[in-house]
Amino acid sequence: MDTPIKTIKLFNADSLEYAGSIMVRGQSWEYRDVDDDHLKRVTVGMPVKAVMMCLIHFNLVYDIIEE
């Protein structure tokens, strides 16, 4: 049985422009199309729930899409 995949789409909190996404499979995750190197450096290795709590500090909001 395959592990469900979640896509967390990231958006700029002010303009709501697409800012990339986080692909989640089980306990592992990775960024896609994210250009903010500081965000990537600070959050790498964190559990995805911890990353989601930090996103507003980077002026990002999100939408979760389950596939």
pLDDT attached to residue 66: 82
Q: pLDDT tens, 14-26? A: 999 999 999 999 8
Higher-confidence residue of 46 and 2: namely 46
> What is the model's pTM?
0.88
Q: If you compute the radius of gyration of the chain from its CA atoms, what whole number of angstroms results? A: 12
Q: What are the residue ranges spanned by the domains of the chain?
A: 5-66
pLDDT digits (tens, 9 = 90+) for 45-66: 999 999 999 999 999 999 999 8
The strand pairing partners of 20, in sequence order, are 10
Name the nearest CA neighbour of 53 among 22, 32, 25, 28.
22
Rounded CA gap, 51 and 36, in Å? 14
pLDDT at residue 1 is higher than 70: no
What size, in residues, is the chain? 67
